[in-house]
Amino acid sequence: MKHRYFVVILFAIIVLEALASSAQEATSTPSPDDIPEQASLIDEGQFDIVNFLLIGADTANANNAGRTDVLTMVSVNRTASTVSMLSLPRDLYVYIPGYGVHRINTAYGWGETNLGEGQGPQLLMETIRYNLGFEIDYYARVDFDGFRQIIDDLGGAEVAVDCSIQDWRLAAPDLDPALEESWEMFTLPVGMHLMDGDLALWYARSRRTSSDFDRGRRHQALLRALWRRIRGLNLVEQVADVWPQVLETVETNLTLEDMLGFAPLALSLDTSRIASYVFQPNVEVRFWRSPEGSSVLAPNREAIAALGHLMYQPPTEHQLVREGARVEVVNASGMRGLDRVAADRLAWEGFVPTVGSPAPAYREYTVIYDYTGQSKGSSLGTLQSVLRVGSEGLVIEPDPDRSVDFRVVIGGTYYSCTHAVAPPSTPTPEPEALAQG
């Protein structure tokens, strides 16, 4: 059935494989025998919060639990009808109740192997609760094949690629990954790309020119693209019809009744009500060397608690969103699709931009036209910061009859890659090594 897996995207599941962790290290070494105190639950305040854990397994074998190398928490504020996403890095070094201190991506496997089939999600959720203070209500898990199928059944996902990526890729999906000649160096340039399941999985897994922190952001970019696809196809209303097919691909504790309860919120979401977060190095996490000699990430509980509190606050209460600035993005760069890439970048900050007709003439530098007449303000400051436009690129033209508050004209020198974190300084794997994940 075409689109039969779309419900998976309602709770934003992505299956991917992880890249190598950063090689930066600290001199201290935590012991796996040291059991930290349990973290306090993050205060939800006056809000009704429901947390989903989206699990991606690095396996295509239904009989193999695999490592949970993709962990994305989706926090739904039912009071304010808003959503926040948080990517948890696979190398987070945490206490797994009953099993000592290990990478968080091993908790699921410990549960399935030692506690019995179906116990992996429970142990993983307990691990997150113990170390990070997030109470998980629901989970959903899929693998490589399920992810590809979801993308293809939806007719692809259109993704705004803001940083060019180059990495090894199978020359054709059906080639033998164990053979070196099956691989080729592939470059995905900046721009809008309609990705099928195979390309989307490659984009999400790529580890050669970025970091694990940036991968978490790319996972969320894919989720946003899939959500736009779901909304564009008007598929939310078909939940009850396709639920049996969904369960053929997805392992979850959600019921059909649960999904139907979230449908009204799903129908109303726009970019101003979806916030995205990732852990930052030397803020929420610190680099460590494990006793086994591996690079891992130790959580900074105080910083994570502060981030959790911010996540629980509805994005609509942020000053930028409250202002409701109307922003139009116009392309004068000479590069097709760069206006949509810039608009997508602004959407991450809470704007709901529109894309206007391309400019008739090329411009070298990006210009922001401010029709509000207020040279200072959070919207203007955020626009300048995100688009890297200085005072020389700002034109103030007050217009009381304006149709938009700001018009952004994207120039040929616009640099969209402002999110990425530098890749680890470790040797690049050869093609045959990529077959092993």
12 burial type by CB count under 10 A (0-12 exposed, 13-18 middle, 19+ buried)? buried
CB 52, CB 72: distance < 8 Å = no
* pLDDT value at residue 387: 95
299 and 235 in a single domain? The answer is: yes
- Give the structural domain span for 395: 320-410
> Positive or negative, the Cα torsion across 418, 421, 427, 428?
negative
CB 250, CB 146: distance < 8 Å = yes
From 283, 300, 317, give the residue that closes a domain.
317
CB 284, CB 310: distance < 8 Å = no
Residue 11 falls inside a structural domain: yes
Compute CA 267 distance to the chain's CA centroid, rounded to the nearest angstrom.
Answer: 20
CB 81, CB 104: distance < 8 Å = no
Rounded CA-CA distance 133/39 in Å is 5
From 300, 317, 334, give the residue that closes a domain.
317
Check which CATH number belongs to the domain holding 34 and give it: 3.40.630.190
306 and 211 in a single domain? The answer is: yes
Rounded CA-CA distance 129/57 in Å is 20
230 and 328 in a single domain? The answer is: no
125 and 21 in a single domain? The answer is: yes
Q: How far apart are the first and last CA of the chain?
A: 31
* pLDDT value at residue 117: 86
Q: List the structure tokens of 36.
A: 């930290």
271 and 379 in a single domain? The answer is: no
* pLDDT value at residue 118: 86
* pLDDT value at residue 325: 86
Give the total number of structural domains in the chain. 2
Q: List the structure tokens of 122.
A: 């429970």
Q: Map tokens 């990495």 to a residue.
A: 167
Rounded CA-CA distance 341/143 in Å is 29
212 and 237 in a single domain? The answer is: yes
Q: What contacts 309, CB < 8 A, 6 or more positions away?
A: 42, 43
Ordered strands of the 394-396 beta sheet: 354-355, 327-331, 406-410, 367-370, 394-396
151 and 133 in a single domain? The answer is: yes
351 and 297 in a single domain? The answer is: no
* pLDDT value at residue 263: 86
291 and 337 in a single domain? The answer is: no
14 and 145 in a single domain? The answer is: yes
> What pLDDT tens digit does each residue of the chain (437 aa) get?
544 444 444 444 433 333 333 333 333 344 555 788 999 999 999 999 999 999 988 766 666 667 888 899 999 999 999 999 999 999 999 999 999 999 999 999 999 988 988 899 999 999 999 999 999 999 999 888 888 888 998 899 999 999 999 999 999 988 998 999 999 999 999 999 999 999 998 998 887 877 778 888 898 999 888 888 888 887 788 888 888 888 888 899 999 999 999 888 888 887 778 889 999 999 999 998 888 888 999 999 999 999 999 999 887 655 555 577 899 999 999 999 999 999 999 988 888 899 999 999 999 999 999 999 775 566 888 899 999 999 999 999 999 999 999 999 999 999 999 875 544 443 334 443 334 34
Check which CATH number belongs to the domain holding 333 and give it: 3.30.70.2390
Residue 116 falls inside a structural domain: yes
309 and 325 in a single domain? The answer is: no
Residue 121 falls inside a structural domain: yes
